[in-house]
A and B are shown apart, each in its own frame.
Chain A
Amino acid sequence: MIDFVLAPLEYGFMVRALIGSVLVGVMCPLLGAYVVTRNLAFMGDALAHAVLPGMVLGFIVGINPAIAAVPTGVSVAVLVRIVSRRAGLSADTSIGILFAAMFALGLVMLATSPTIGVDMEDLLLGQILAISPTDIYVSLGITIVVILGLFALHHWLLFASFDPVGSQVVGARANFVDYVLLVMLALVIVIGIQAAGIVLVMAMLVTPAATAYVLVRRFVSMMMAAAAIGTAAAVTGLYISYHFNLPAGPAMTLVASGIFVLVVSFRRKAPA
């Protein structure tokens, strides 16, 4: 058993992958708690797809794709709010328009830049075993910024999430808080994509938080439980992928989904 845990850590890439997995396992579910309770799952999925042009641009100009994806994700998060307010459209519709347009732009950029040699499958499904030291620094930086943001805005985030109208009456801060939440979501998705890829990052964002929603009563407890479940799923998934020669992103996703199925099967009653 000890060998099962320690043997992989003789390799530098596995140590980096483990650090990356823990960061993904903590940060995605922390924001995921808001995603699940504020019905932002579509927004999360859209942001994950919409950062593709930023990542491809990073490969083209030789910048770390995680760094290049940050401004793209943040811009799309802010644009969704602006488009839905200005055009009087529902957020879902604005998300649908921007998500498809940005993903298509990324695919066109990829098709017209054959020299960059990026495997589309790595982008879609993640490649945490190939995570670089720079990726780790970027993820750490994002983690610190997002944790500080969540701490500073905690009460406003609760207010705006539970009672959007009442919080707007109290101050313009409520609108600002919503923007900041989307920006933090975009940042965390950039970390998540490295581990689980564009398609499967949703699993780390939504599944641990949904599991925690079933298990605990209060929102703060839900965030803590989600982070614990997410970390367990990401680390277990990483070890399974190493020992059984499986892709890491899908292994993490399956572990997170398995925990969800177990919890839902054995819960005593539906949450209030």
Chain B
Amino acid sequence: MNPAPNVHAASMSLQDVTVELDGHMALSNVTFDVHAGTLMGVVGPNGAGKSTLFNAIAGLLPVRRGKVTLHRVDRRSGALAYVPQQESVNWRFPVTVMDVAMMGLCCKLGWCRRPGKKDRDLVDECLCRVGLWDHRSALMTELSGGQKQRVFVARALTQEASVLLLDEAFSGVDVGAQEGLIEVLQTMKNEGRIVLLATHDLTNLAGRFDQVLCLNRQVCACGPPDQVFTPEVMEKLYGAHGVRLTRDGER
């Protein structure tokens, strides 16, 4: 009972978005568009404003100037899902994989309704899709970094989100698990969802994104990976070290 392909038709547009944090400019005149069915990597060094950008898109931070527009996205019904950095999750809280996937149903359940058979079937199906059904009774703390990320993706699936924001999703995740995560995200974008993944870690998976946004407090480049990963852009992002990264990648 997989959701029909391309049922999600959201799009996102940022125009001259400027965000200030504690009196300094965290993002300046950020402009880009994302269409339905796009897997976009947001890359940049630490402190480049990737999390700030996601927080602004998610409505957690006020935008000083400019505009964030999410077309056909009803936030109150859970159409926007956010996978935060590992540090902002309360790992002391003892929840299982199934509990976390079930959290995606909060909007649908409302205040008093308990999950029924249909809801539990949906959770099972989403856990199967991310390959974690066998781990459904495991505590979150018993999972590896990559598995944890996949549980959050399963939560976004149960939430039936059209837009998924993953902040530093590769942090603490080994290369093999990164590959597995990208595969799951690609199936999501094939259904018409928008998936934005922030990372400061330029791995060999960067070429798997449809679009890459290079961010260093402002947009340094935005487009397909083969067009944006140039020595000039890398230098803008990472300084002289960035040029070496591009050369290593070419070799």
- The main secondary structure of chain A at its interface with chain B is helix
Q: Is A161 a contact partner of B93 (Cβ separation < 8 A)?
A: yes
Q: Could you pull out 6 A-B pairs where Cβ atoms are within 8 angstroms? A: A158-B99, A169-B59, A213-B94, A217-B94, A272-B94, A272-B142
In the complex, which residues 21-38 of chain A have their Cβ closer than 8 Å to any Cβ of chain B?
A: 37-38
Q: How many A-B residue pairs have CB under 8 A?
A: 98
Q: Is A170 a contact partner of B106 (Cβ separation < 8 A)?
A: yes
In the complex, which residues 7-36 of chain B have their Cβ closer than 8 Å to any Cβ of chain A?
A: none
Interface size for A (C-beta < 8 A) is: 30
Q: Is A169 a contact partner of B58 (Cβ separation < 8 A)?
A: yes
Q: Is B95 a contact partner of A158 (Cβ separation < 8 A)?
A: yes
Q: Is A162 a contact partner of B89 (Cβ separation < 8 A)?
A: yes
B232 to chain A, nearest CB (A): 35
A246 to chain B, nearest CB (A): 35
Q: Is A155 a contact partner of B80 (Cβ separation < 8 A)?
A: no
A218 CA / B139 CA spacing, docked (Å): 8
- The main secondary structure of chain B at its interface with chain A is mixed
- Does chain B have a CB within 8 A of A163? yes
In the complex formed, the residue of A with least CB distance to B95 is A162
Interface set of A (CB-CB < 8 Å, partner B): 37-39, 151-153, 155-156, 158-159, 161-171, 173, 213, 216-219, 222, 271-272
Q: Is A162 a contact partner of B93 (Cβ separation < 8 A)?
A: yes
Interface set of B (CB-CB < 8 Å, partner A): 58-60, 75-76, 78, 80-84, 88-90, 92-96, 99-100, 102-103, 105-107, 109, 111-112, 139-142, 152, 155, 159, 165
Selected from B76, B89, B142, the residue in CB contact (under 8 A) with A163 is: B89
Q: Is A169 a contact partner of B82 (Cβ separation < 8 A)?
A: yes
Q: Is A170 a contact partner of B107 (Cβ separation < 8 A)?
A: yes
Chain A residue contacts of B82, Cβ below 8 A: 165-166, 169-170
Q: Is B76 a contact partner of A165 (Cβ separation < 8 A)?
A: no
Selected from A37, A169, A173, the residue in CB contact (under 8 A) with B93 is: A37
A139 CA / B102 CA spacing, docked (Å): 33
- Give me the 9 closest cross-chain CB pairs, A-B, nearest first: A169-B82, A165-B84, A159-B103, A272-B141, A169-B58, A162-B93, A37-B93, A152-B111, A165-B88
In the complex formed, the residue of B with least CB distance to A171 is B76
Q: Is A171 a contact partner of B107 (Cβ separation < 8 A)?
A: yes
B193 to chain A, nearest CB (A): 15
